[in-house]
Amino acid sequence: MGKNYSVNPNDYKLLEEVGYGASATVYRAIYLPSNEVVAVKCLDLDRCNSNLNLDEVAVQDDIRREAQTMSLIDHPNVIKAFCSFVVDSNLWVVMPFMAEGSCLHLMKIAYPEGFEESAIGSILKETLKALEYLHLHGHIHRDVKAGNILMDSDGVVKLADFGVSACMFDRGDRQRSRNTFVGTPCWMAPEVLQPGTGYDFKWVLLHILILSCGFMIRSALCLHNWISIKKVLVHACIYELTHCLLFGSHVTSLRPKDILFNSECTSRLADIWSFGITALELAHGHAPFSKYPPMKVLLMTIQNAPPGLDYDRDKRFSKSFKEMVAMCLVKDQTKRPTAEKLLKHSFFKNAKPPELSVKKLFVDLPPLWKRVKDLQVKDAAQLALKNMASADQEAMSQSEYQRGVSAWNFDVEDLKLQASLLQDEDEILEIKEEEDSLKSYMSQKVASNSMVKPVATSNNNGRGNTNGNEVPVLESQTNEEKISDTNLTEFDNKVETEIKKAESNAELPPSMVEKEAAQAKTRNQTGRPRQSQSGPLMPGTVLGHSLCEIENHQVADKAQQVRKAPSFSGPLNLPNRASGNSLSAPIKSSGGNYFICVVKQLLNSRYAWKMFAEAHYMSVFFPQGFKDSLEDKSKTNLVQIKGRFSVTSENVDLVKGSPLRKSASVGSWIFDSKQMPQNQSPKEIGNSNGLASILMPHLQNLFQQTSIQQDLIVNLLSSLQAVEVENAPQNGKLPPLPRGSESNGSVELFVSERERMLLMKISQLQARMNSLTDELTAEKLKYMQLQQRLNAASARQENGDTRGGDS
Ligand SMILES: Nc1ncnc2c1ncn2[C@@H]1O[C@H](COP(=O)(O)OP(=O)(O)OP(=O)(O)O)[C@@H](O)[C@H]1O
């Protein structure tokens, strides 16, 4: 106690990196004068400034002030800062070294499903003691979470990140004026997020007006008598008020952009909410809602019932634990207990001392820095994966957030912008979930690689191929934008070839059909195992193989695979743009077999019902227009559904050519009926029976989608091949990719082979990344030490100069 630590950086020898956050890196270090192990948190002030868009001096002042506050704190369960000083553009905060790191790190490394109850009880009790102390002294932590609960090898638990990170929280007016808010979404109390009303006064008026009209019309129709306007208005107002009172307007109409951040929220009870969320985090290995994108989490925090321990699902936990969590996670903050009161709960009364329950968690684990390095590799792989999947900001910030990083900068305007992009929420969620499943698989894989075998040189089992397939799939996202007219012409030719093939197949005698089906089956069996992510290849397969295969249920099976593994069919979303919307139809309807096959395929497809619904919608709401649009050769109809596609019906039976073109203006696919094949009379479609006329355009569209997908895959793989030739392992090239319609049948095999190669490459890249991280850390350390020496030398020189001058 009372020991003075020097503020001279030369007195500290930085050793390994033991932690990293949004704006800081933490090192194990030796305090040379006493040879004591300490932790030095190096806060990058530049990064802090740019993250927060604040002026440099203000940030530095804040950080310094908060570091000072941190040094005044004196409680066994709160990390205390020994001292802090600025070194170049970094603020160094010297604090006790917690040899086992944070609970989050520990869970990520060894307890992905969470800790057992006795350990949770001890950890939470110690944390609660820290909160009690802070609250009693007028502080609010505001970032309570597993990532900020540190442990040392004796089982001592301390709450960290108070003070320094608090500088990033509100400073009253300053925070408000800058319109930013910092926190971690999953742990944020509902009162920190203020829902707007959902709609404003204008909306209420409009609503009343509409209601009034409704009342008037109803009264006129039912009673054959108009009631007075005054009465009607009163009725409408009462109705609206009751609705608001009963349901709360925000409940029904809250949108992400309506969320406001209550930067003035200074309630200590917000910490109790975060504490409850932390309890769930320790119990499950992750915070509730953590799989959702941040904006969704914020919405769910406001709109959903509070999360909690499920009485059925969480059977392994005691009733008192469940009760305690439920007490913390009450939306009405006034009903939450204070830290002091909560400590009296039976759950904490019965908690074991941490040296008994916490200490045993670290048995057999490698040292902290080794664990951190492994985690870094894992995170880097995840991030790389994310970047490959999408470079958009939201994805990036989500990956940060899943790392458990707390310094989340919320720029309200940014959030609103994000929110406005979140209109098709379900679709986004679906994609996120798909990405999550892919990511979790990747992370498992990376974890196993990094923890068990640092370098996985070959992993070509069925699962391994999952990785391999990502590359073309992910790349397709960007490439989908690049499809040129040339591609489309190529595609068109391919479609024609396929049609001919399909027709000839349809005319084959049954024996031949069976034979081909058997051959195709054998091909599939002898080939590499199909991966669950074979989704995107499916359409190609449909095209590449004969119709008999489709008839033999293989397509149905594969289509099921596609549904089971949407993660990989997602990014190949090009047809989504046209999905079910473009009434493009280059194929002939002749060949009943083909029709049945495509119907099967359609019904198995993810979009089948959507398409069907749209077709139904068109036929119901525009029965004549729908038909006319196809039949009427003289007029030009521009039909738009959901703003996503256009159908021009001008001159439908013109020269054949590409039926699809990309609309530069709306970025969607347009079916240009000018390009419809001559021999496909629109009358044939219009006059065929109801179901067929509804389905045909969509079936045709589906056919095109599959061809586009196939074409995409082929293009992507060949472009990848070109890039990989330079780096191919052992100077070997990836298997050449067959092109052209004649090779369609074997595309699948080649793709599998390439997937395997790509997987190997990923493993090698992981290994390289590992060694590069090592090198980087070593270089960083070297740099720091050199800098220290340089500073020392210049200090010595200065001293010498002064002495020389004096003498
Ligand atoms: N005193 C310490 N001893 C050992 N490890 C520590 C110590 N302080 C921090 N760490 C490790 O470093 C990580 C990052 O530290 P910290 O949370 O303080 O950084 P940050 O940039 O403020 O992060 P955040 O993103 O949570 O705000 C912690 O999760 C923890 O694992």
Q: Is 405 in the pocket of ligand 1 (CB under 6 A)?
A: yes
Q: Is 38 in the pocket of ligand 1 (CB under 6 A)?
A: no
Ligand 1: which residue has its CA nearest to atom 5? 101
Q: Torsion angle of alpha carbons 582, 583, 585, 588, nearest 10°?
A: 140
Query: Does residue 519 have a pLDDT over 60?
Result: no
Q: Is 598 in the pocket of ligand 1 (CB under 6 A)?
A: no
Report the share of the chain in percent with pLDDT over 90: 18
329 CA from centroid of ligand 1 (Å) = 26
Q: What is the distance between the alpha carbons of residues 248 and 324, in angstroms, rounded to a whole number?
A: 29
Query: Does residue 733 have a pLDDT over 70?
Result: no
What mean pLDDT, rounded, does the chain reach? Answer: 62
Q: How does residue 104 score in pLDDT terms, banded at 50, 70 and 90?
A: very high
Cα–Cα nearest to 126, from 372, 371, 308, 356: 356
148 CA from centroid of ligand 1 (Å) = 7
User: Three-class SS of residue 393?
Assistant: helix
Q: Torsion angle of alpha carbons 552, 558, 563, 565, nearest 10°?
A: 160
Average pLDDT over residues 422-432: 45
Q: At what angle do helices 201-223 and 229-247 cross, to 10 degrees?
A: 130
Q: Torsion angle of alpha carbons 689, 694, 695, 698, nearest 10°?
A: 150
Q: What is the pLDDT of residue 458?
A: 33
668 CA from centroid of ligand 1 (Å) = 46
Q: What is the pLDDT of residue 263?
A: 52
Q: Which has more pLDDT, 631 or 788?
A: 788
- Catalytically active residues are 143
- Range picked from 398-402, 564-568, 762-766 for highest mean pLDDT: 762-766
Q: Is 101 in the pocket of ligand 1 (CB under 6 A)?
A: yes
Query: Does residue 731 have a pLDDT over 60?
Result: no
Judge whether 468 and 755 are in contact, CB under 8 Å: yes
Query: Does residue 441 have a pLDDT over 80?
Result: no
Query: Does residue 790 have a pLDDT over 50?
Result: yes
Query: Does residue 698 have a pLDDT over 50?
Result: yes
Q: Which has more pLDDT, 801 or 415?
A: 801
Q: What is the pLDDT of residue 151?
A: 96
Nearest atom within ligand 1 for CA of residue 105: 31
Q: Which has more pLDDT, 253 or 727?
A: 727
Judge whether 52 and 133 are in contact, CB under 8 Å: no
Q: What is the pLDDT of residue 599?
A: 42
Q: Is 98 in the pocket of ligand 1 (CB under 6 A)?
A: yes
Q: How does residue 313 score in pLDDT terms, banded at 50, 70 and 90?
A: confident
Report the share of the chain in percent with pLDDT over 70: 42
Judge whether 81 and 38 are in contact, CB under 8 Å: no
Cα–Cα nearest to 633, from 652, 647, 646: 652
- The token pair at 207 is 């609503």
Q: What is the pLDDT of residue 305?
A: 87
Average pLDDT over residues 605-616: 39
Q: Which has more pLDDT, 91 or 447?
A: 91
Q: Is 372 in the pocket of ligand 1 (CB under 6 A)?
A: no
> Ligand 1, residues 102, 149, 165, 403: which to mutate, most atoms within 8 A of Cβ?
102
Ligand 1: which residue has its CA nearest to atom 20? 21
Q: What is the distance between the alpha carbons of residues 315 and 319, in angstroms, rounded to a whole number?
A: 9
Where is 13: in which H helix or E strand? strand 12-20
Nearest atom within ligand 1 for CA of residue 102: 31
| Partners of 149 in beta bridges | 159
Q: Is 149 in the pocket of ligand 1 (CB under 6 A)?
A: no
Query: Does residue 150 have a pLDDT over 70?
Result: yes
101 CA from centroid of ligand 1 (Å) = 8
Query: Does residue 673 have a pLDDT over 70?
Result: no
Ligand 1: which residue has its CA nearest to atom 28? 19
Q: Is 565 in the pocket of ligand 1 (CB under 6 A)?
A: no
Detail the residues annotated as belonging to a binding site for ATP.
41
Detail the residues annotated as belonging to a binding site.
41
Cα distance from N-terminal residue to C-terminal residue, the chain: 42
Query: Does residue 114 have a pLDDT over 90?
Result: yes
10 CA from centroid of ligand 1 (Å) = 22
Q: Is 685 in the pocket of ligand 1 (CB under 6 A)?
A: no
248 CA from centroid of ligand 1 (Å) = 41
Q: What is the pLDDT of residue 699?
A: 66
- Could you report the per-residue pLDDT of 634-671, keeping only the tens digit for each? 333 323 323 222 222 333 333 333 333 333 333 223 33
DSSP secondary structure, 108-154, as one string: HHH-TT---HHHHHHHHHHHHHHHHHHHHTT------SGGGEEE-TT
Q: How does residue 601 score in pLDDT terms, banded at 50, 70 and 90?
A: very low
67-71, 248-252, 476-480, 700-704: which range is least confident on average? 476-480
Ligand 1: which residue has its CA nearest to atom 26? 406
Nearest atom within ligand 1 for CA of residue 165: 22
